[in-house]
């Protein structure tokens, strides 16, 4: 898996101060995408164990200030990203159980849960912003999402609710 950028102090992509990882690879090709270069899964640099460890060390160093981790792209649920991110998220939750993980995907919740590998990745996360960015529905006043068709989903509550979507408040 490749990534295009890491923002070590991000207050835009999720609640609180976060580390945000922008992965490469996306099949959606949304018109008006803010990050088109990440459509290509070969864009950027490889996400290595050293990079992973750098992120963990940052959380250890600034633990009290950090709220969590955000995964964007590209699309974290792109097939070439799923396994690496699942393992990364599992280790993150093991080391930082009180921190949350937010994940963005062009797929909807209903599409993701039909794919066992993608669903396993989501089980490691706390909040999903789902659905393709739709330029015609763009709204700059929305929090954490670009268009009004996208939902902000409480993943763990939704799983407990037999996969009937519960929105994050």
Mention every residue, 6+ apart, whose C-beta is less than 8 A from residue 40: 24, 25
What string of pLDDT tens digits covers the 169 residues of the chain? 999 999 999 999 999 999 999 999 999 999 988 888 999 999 999 999 999 999 999 999 999 999 999 999 999 999 999 999 999 999 999 999 999 999 999 999 999 999 999 999 999 999 999 999 999 999 999 999 999 999 999 999 999 999 999 998 7
The pLDDT score that the predictor gives to residue 126 is 98
Report the pLDDT value the prediction gives residue 35, as an integer from 0 to 100.
Answer: 87
Position 169 scores a pLDDT of 72
Domains and CATH numbers, the chain: 2-160 (3.20.20.70)
pLDDT at 22: 98
> How many other C-beta atoms lie within 10 A of the C-beta of residue 58?
15
**Are the CB atoms for 3 and 24 separated by under 8 Å?**
yes
How does DSSP assign 63-83, residue by residue? TTT--EEEEESS-TTSTTTHH
Instruction: Tell me the pairing of strands 2-10 and 45-46.
Output: antiparallel
CA distance 139 to 145: 8
The region that residue 34 occupies, defined by phi over 0 for left and psi between -120 and 50 for alpha, beta otherwise, is alpha
Rg (the chain; Cα; Å)? 15
- CB of 6 within 8 A of CB of 24? no
What is the predicted pLDDT for the residue at 32?
87
pTM value is 0.95
* CA neighbor of 58 nearest in space, from 22, 21, 23: 21
* pLDDT computed for residue 64 by the predictor: 92
3-state secondary structure of 8: strand
């Amino acid at each position: 898996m490749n990534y295009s950028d890491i923002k070590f102090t991000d207050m835009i992509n999720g609640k609180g101060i976060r580390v945000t990882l922008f992965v490469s690879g996306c099949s959606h090709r949304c018109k008006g995408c803010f990050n088109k270069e990440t459509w290509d899964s070969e864009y950027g640099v490889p996400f290595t164990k050293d990079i992973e460890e750098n992120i963990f060390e940052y959380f250890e160093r600034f633990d009290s200030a950090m709220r969590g981790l955000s995964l964007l792209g590209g699309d974290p649920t792109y097939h070439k990203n799923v396994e690496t991110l699942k393992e990364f998220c599992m280790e993150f939750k093991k080391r930082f159980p009180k921190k949350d993980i937010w994940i963005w995907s062009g797929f909807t919740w209903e599409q993701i849960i039909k794919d066992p590998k993608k669903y396993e990745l989501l089980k490691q996360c706390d909040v999903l912003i789902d659905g393709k960015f739709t330029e015609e529905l763009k709204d700059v006043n929305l929090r954490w999402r670009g268009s009004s068709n996208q939902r902000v989903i409480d993943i763990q509550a939704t799983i407990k609710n037999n996969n009937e979507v519960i929105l994050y408040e």
